[in-house]
Structure 1
């Protein structure tokens, strides 16, 4: 059986995780890499030793080569252009999250997928894991009844080096005006907002429809967007989704969630019980699902397997649109992150802008299901609201 050919678009940053994994695989043909700065990669020598060709542009690769799968691990504002190019040149696509930062790009993806007959997967890690897929199936089958409230918290400190690692980090737009909207909610912690939408979808590739949001957005770092957020979403069926995320805490916590249903609840905390998702039914029964954080590249294994066995991709470009619509609504309705007052920031921390007692505040919000202003936190501002608009498939 012929091996599937794979091309990697972007070998630095997150792309290095893909590169490391692909170099170890013997079940594929590593057809090439597209990268403008290959010299920045710590794995460049291995790539050269393997004789894997490196191209500076996608058209140069596709002029002489083909690929069954194109993996796109580049900055947010390049995703649409590169994914569409790959699809139109006969490749299935695994594109890193988020899919894009401009909802007008939806039509371009829709047309490229339709005309190519190929699939486009978006790399929201958890959507490709066995624990989450099993949990979603149980929710679909009504094991827990109707959803009442889903809430998630992720406190991941990021220092100045993180925000200066690239020209697009923390930016609203690129130099040419294309939206980036890089933030805690649209990059590092995006997986966990998406997961709440994903597990409530009625079909494998569907997410629940969210119509309204209210949010408080803040920033401790010198960025254009926000590094801290508290977001409340309302689904069409009246279920409340809450997300608390920050890069401006002194200590790390999460991801963790509590999903509450009519007939039970599901809990997860990566720091407790080996990071196992556990469901508790109203009859006292427990069900253990496993740890969705075990392998961050389940998505790669899944997509390579799908090339040969034709399995359905759980997170396609359509599955990722719900998260993208939320991000767009945030930025269109709420001013860029409100700066934390200087006195709220710990001045003793080196290279890390940490807000004093922010962990305690976010934990209090998570436990109570409230936003900071509702708890009368001194630095907080009233939440802003927005109505989430999504395009129907086929509408231009």
Structure 2
């Protein structure tokens, strides 16, 4: 049987409070607890709780037949503990069904795979520890890097950590004439299997579902089933990867997104030759058809599917380089607040807010940003980073004296 692999990213950053130049050296708490709590509670009510309830309903209605996968960032797990224990409990109930696979990623939802192999591995290990703590000793087999960032070298690192497979974007400039609807393998370490997002059908749900100017609006289950049945019979797996906030937050309930998802499994199971599988099940049942060559990192962001959502302009590169200059010094400091802030300052969203892309993807960037402009995001972050640098250097001096 051919199969559909549903994967959802679940992530919220710790947003930084307004932090002035004059706060440097005086105020050492950077996080906007009021805003972070407000966002988590709002999205919980609109998205996480109703969608988790719906998935629980579907799993119970189709026992053993309907399955999904999540990667839940470490910073999101921290916020669930702090602001939304009811959301955490609802995810725990889902995982306890045995029909939900959890994937590992970086604890901080960071870009460390592009900068530091050591920090990357440490962050992955911290994430695995959190999954064990929150989900009854859960041990994941599959990896999903921050924002599906992947290259041949990153895949080789992931394989070296013991993972059997990884998820990434089915970028057109990488695939060429090939289809994303197969299992592939890493070009440097063929033991690592690779699943590629079918961006056309994924984005039909994630981005175009409620767009009334879209030529295929409205997206109905009948229409989606027709598209699924049009996939050539030789293509074995349809990977539908998207942000979990698609349901209820990016696509409001009024668009019919929940009703669409409620009806889709029955239609797939009764009107197609597809079932549903988790990533590890796909890897267990399907052999790679070829290696996928990705010499330059890709992601699932923006039209280019590259790294320019987070890195590439002067603001982003300056902030990114200044942050990781601290890595060796931070690693010598045994201070929980320093380690917490080091983790949260690495979160990729901070660099995303500094993006100066104003073409086709400008509206998306501004939608997610709490700042009025990329320059405001940069100034606020660098003010915080300046204070953090002072604290790290002071702690390092104290350690040397001791």
Q: Same fold (TM over 0.5)?
A: no
- Bigger relative contact order (CA 8 A; separation at least 6): 2
Q: Which has the higher strand share?
A: 1
Q: Which has the higher helix share?
A: 2
TM range (shorter): under 0.3
TM-score normalised over the length of structure 1:
0.26
